[in-house]
Amino acid sequence: MIKPHHTTTTTLILPFLFLLLSISFHLFPFPQTLTLTHPPPPPSPSRTTHIVRFVHYKHAREHLLYLRENLRNKNNRWEWIERRNPAAAYPTDFGVLEIDDEVRVEVVEELEGLELAKDVSVEFRYTRGLLGRRGDDGGDGCVFGVGRKRRPGKIFTRMSFNESEGGMCGSGGGNGSFGSRSRRLLLQRTQVTSLFGADVLWAKGYTGEKVKMAIFDTGIRADHPHFRHIKERTNWTNEDTLNDNLGHGTFVAGVIAGQDSECLGFAPDAEIYAFRVFTDAQVSYTSWFLDAFNYAIAINLDVLNLSIGGPDHLDLPFVEKVWELTANNIIMVSAIGNDGPLYGTLNNPADQSDVIGVGGIDYSDHIASFSSRGMSTWEIPHGYGRVKPDIVAYGRDIMGSKISTGCRSLSGTSVASPVVAGVVCLLVSVLPVNKRKQVLNPASMKQALIEGAAKLSGPHMYEQGAGRVDLLESYEILKNYEPRASIVPSVLDFLDCPYSWPFCRQPLYAGAMPVIFNATILNGMGVTGYVDGPPTWHPSNEDGNLLSIHFTHSGIIWPWTGYLGLHMQIKEEGSQFLGLIEGNVTVKVYSPPAPGEKAVRTSTCVLQLRLNVIPTPPRSKRVLWDQFHSIKYPPGYIPRDSLDVRNDILDWHGDHLHTNFYTLYNMLKDAGYYVETLGSPLTCFDARQYGTLLLVDLEDEYFEEEIKKLKEDVLNTGLGLAVFAEWYNVDTMVKMRFFDDNTRSWWTPVTGGANIPALNDLLAPFGIAFGDKILNGDFTMDGAQSRYASGTNIVKFPAAGYLHSFPFLDSSDSGGTHVLASSFTKEDLPILGFLELGEGRISVYGDSNCLDSSHMVTNCHWLLRKILDFTSMNIKDPVLFSESARQDAPLYENSNKLPSRRTDVNFSAYSSVMGKALICRSDSRFEVWGTKGYNIQVRGRNRRLPGHQAIDLGGGFNSSLLRSDANKSTVSRQSKRDSLSNKYLSLLYRDELDTPVQAASHWLLPALVAAFGFLLFLSFWRIRQKRRRRRRGSGSGKLGNF
Catalytically active residues are 217, 248, 414
- Dihedral sign computed on CA atoms, order 212, 218, 224, 225: negative
Backbone φ and ψ of 71, nearest 5°: -85, 125
- Report whether 632 contacts 150 (CB < 8 A): no
Stretch (H or E) spanning 303: strand 303-306
- Report whether 885 contacts 762 (CB < 8 A): no
- Report whether 234 contacts 242 (CB < 8 A): yes
- Dihedral sign computed on CA atoms, order 96, 102, 108, 113: negative
Residues belonging to the chain: 1042
Nearest to 529 by CA among 564, 568, 485, 494: 485
Nearest to 571 by CA among 547, 602, 551, 603: 547
Nearest to 298 by CA among 440, 87, 95: 87
Nearest to 510 by CA among 579, 571, 581: 571
In DSSP terms, which residues pair with 548 in a beta bridge?
Answer: 569
Q: At what angle do helices 471-479 and 442-452 cross, to 10 degrees?
A: 130
Buried b (16+ CB within 10 A) or exposed e, 820-842: eeeebeeeebbbbbbbbbbebbb
- Report whether the peptide linkage leading into residue 498 is cis, meaning its omega lies within 30 degrees of zero: yes
Chain Cα centroid distance, residue 590: 33
Question: Which residues, including other chains, have CB under 8 Å from residue 878's CB and lie 6 or more apart?
Answer: none
Chain Cα centroid distance, residue 389: 17
Question: Which residues, including other chains, have CB under 8 Å from residue 596's CB and lie 6 or more apart?
Answer: none
- Report whether 428 contacts 199 (CB < 8 A): no
Chain Cα centroid distance, residue 130: 28
- The CA distances from residue 913 to 77, 377, 382, 637, 934, in Å, are 39, 20, 13, 18, 18
Name the 3-class secondary structure at 531: strand
- Report whether 269 contacts 307 (CB < 8 A): no
Name the 3-class secondary structure at 747: strand
E runs forming strands in 651-750: 674-678, 692-696, 720-724, 738-740, 745-747
- Report whether 370 contacts 451 (CB < 8 A): no
What is the DSSP secondary-structure string of 962-1028? Answer: HHTTT------TT--SS-HHHHHHHHHHSS---GGGGGGHHHHHHHHHHHHHHHHHHHHHHHHHHHH
- Report whether 137 contacts 146 (CB < 8 A): yes
- Report whether 1008 contacts 23 (CB < 8 A): yes
User: Exposed, middle or buried, 159 (CB in 10 Å: 0-12/13-18/19+)?
Assistant: buried
- Report whether 774 contacts 814 (CB < 8 A): no
Chain Cα centroid distance, residue 983: 37
Residue 856 DSSP label: -
**For the chain, first and last CA: distance in Å?**
24
- Report whether 558 contacts 353 (CB < 8 A): no
